[in-house]
Amino acid sequence: MTDVLDLPDVDDAWAWTAACEERGWGDGLPTVPPTEERVAAMLAALPPDLPHLGPLPPRGVTPTLRSVAANAVMAGCRPADLPVVLAALDAVQDEAYNLHGTLATTHPCAPMVLVSGPVCDALGINAGGNCLGQGTRANAVIGRALSLVLLHVGGARPGVLDRSTQGSPAKYTFCFGESDSPWESLAVRRGFGADEGVVSVMAAEPPHNVNDHGSTTGAEILLTVAGTMAQPGSNNVYVRGPHLLLLGPEHAATLHRDGWTPDTIRAHLWEHARIPVSHVSAGNRRQFVEWGVEPDGDAYTVSDAPENLHLAVAGGAGKHSAWIPSFGGTALVSRRVP
C-alpha cells in the first residue's frame, strides 16, 4: 500500500476492514484508515534529522516518509510515535541485522524493538509490569507499525515471501521499554547518552519466561537462568549470534546486591549455560559440524561468545525474568531516536 489517495470507504469500519482483507492490507487486526489528513498530521510532526531509508527486502522497494506515515496511521500511531518507528526501521536496515534473511526464513523470528531513555516516559512506552504483553498503546502501535511497513513495502507477506513455519504472536508487535536498572542501561553500555532516546532491534523469538521464586542469591538465580538457556531447540546453538537476557527488577536487585555486574553475569552464563551433547540428536550433531559448531568438551555453548548475550532490565513486581533467543544470523542494532 503506497498511495493513501486510493482508499475504500473510510467512514464505514466494516467496509474498510473488508476492503483491507480483499487487497491483502494489514496484519488481520482492524486498522485505522490512512486518510490524507491523518498522514499529513503524522508528517507535520517530524523533526529535521531523519534517517536515510534504503530499499526494503525481500521486494527491494524503498519506503517514502509518506508510506511509512501511512502504515503508522494504520497501526494506530500518534504523530509523536513516528520518530521511534523511523529509528527502528533504520536499525533493521543495518546490514548486520540481515533483514532479508529474517523476513524470508522458516524461523518464527520477529523484529524486537527495545526502547531506552526519556522517550519511554514521553510516549508512555511501558517498561514495567506486563511490558511484553497487552494493554499499552505505545508498545502495541510502534512495533505494529514497523511490522506493517515490512509487510506492505518490503513484501514480507505470510505464505508468500514470509515463509515462517508457524510464526509467533510477536509478529504482530514486539516493542517494550527498558526500565530503570541498578547498572548502566543497555543503551548507555552501547555508547549512547543517558538523556538520549535509543531504539535497539533484534530478529527475535518470543520471550522464554524464567520463573525463580525460591532463590535467595544472585548465584542461585543465574543457575535457573543458565538452565533455561541451555536447550537445544534455539537457533543460537548452531547459527550462533545475539540473545537477550531481560531481567525482572527483583532478580536484578538481588544480583546487584550480591555484586554481580552485566559483564560478570555474561561471563558466568557463558560458562554455565551449556547443552550436554547427550541432549542433542545425532542428526543435529552432524548438522552442527556442517555449520562449523563443535562441542566444548561434553557440551555445546549457547551462541559463540559471552559478548553476544545482551542484558537489560524491564518488568514489574514478581520474581520473573525472560530469555529472548534470536534468529542467530542477525545482530542487536541500536539507533538514536531523531
pLDDT digits (tens, 9 = 90+) for 208-262: 999 999 999 999 999 999 999 999 999 999 999 999 999 999 999 999 999 999 9
pTM (2 decimals)?
A: 0.95
Q: For helices 65-75 and 137-152, give the axis angle rounded to 10 degrees.
A: 130
Residue 70: CB partners within 8 Å, gap ≥ 6?
1, 2, 4, 34, 39
CA distance 86 to 88: 5
- Domain limits, the chain: 13-336
Q: 107-142: per-residue pLDDT in tens? A: 999 999 999 999 999 999 999 999 999 999 999 999
C-alpha cell at 85: 518507528
Say whether 151 sits in a helix, a strand or coil: helix
Contact call for residues 179 and 314 (beta carbons, < 8 A): yes
Per-residue pLDDT, 1: 47
Q: Percentage of the chain with pLDDT > 70?
A: 98
Q: What is the pLDDT of residues 195-207, one digit of tens each?
A: 999 999 999 999 9
What's the CA gap between 185 and 136, in Å, rounded?
22
Q: How confident is the model at residue 3, as a pLDDT? A: 46
What pLDDT is stored for residue 6 in this prediction?
66
Give the mean model confidence (pLDDT) for residues 321-331.
98
Q: Which residues contact 12 (CB under 8 A, 6 or more apart)?
A: none
C-alpha dihedral (282, 288, 292, 294), degrees to nearest 10: -60
DSSP tag of 165:
S
Distance CA 114, CA 279 (A): 32
Reference 182, options 263, 255, 268, 265; nearest CA is: 255
Under the banding of pLDDT at 50, 70 and 90, the label for residue 5 is: very low
The residues that bridge with 56 in the sheet, in sequence order, are 61
- Whether the link from the prior residue into 262 is cis, omega within 30° of 0, is no
How far is 184 from 37, CA to CA, in rounded Å? 42
**Is residue 2 predicted with pLDDT exceeding 50?**
no
Give mean pLDDT, residues 84-90: 98
pLDDT reading at 191 higher than 60: yes
Give tens-digit pLDDT for 139-171: 999 999 999 999 999 999 999 989 999 999 999
> Which DSSP string corresponds to 65-105?
HHHHHHHHHHHT--GGGHHHHHHHHHHHTSGGG-HHHHHHS
Mean pLDDT, the chain, rounded, equals 96
The span from the CA of 52 to the CA of 87, in Å, is: 10
pLDDT score recorded for residue 49: 87
Q: How far from 108 is each of 111, 129, 300, 316, 321, CA to CA, in Å?
A: 10, 25, 23, 27, 21
How many Cβ atoms are within 10 Å of 40's Cβ, its own excluded?
A: 13
For the cut 80, the answer to whether the pLDDT of residue 7 exceeds it is no
Q: What is the pLDDT of residues 10-34, one digit of tens each?
A: 889 999 999 999 999 999 999 999 9
Q: Of 267, 275, 150, whose CA–CA distance to 203 is shortest? A: 150
Cell of 112: 524486537
pLDDT of residue 45: 86
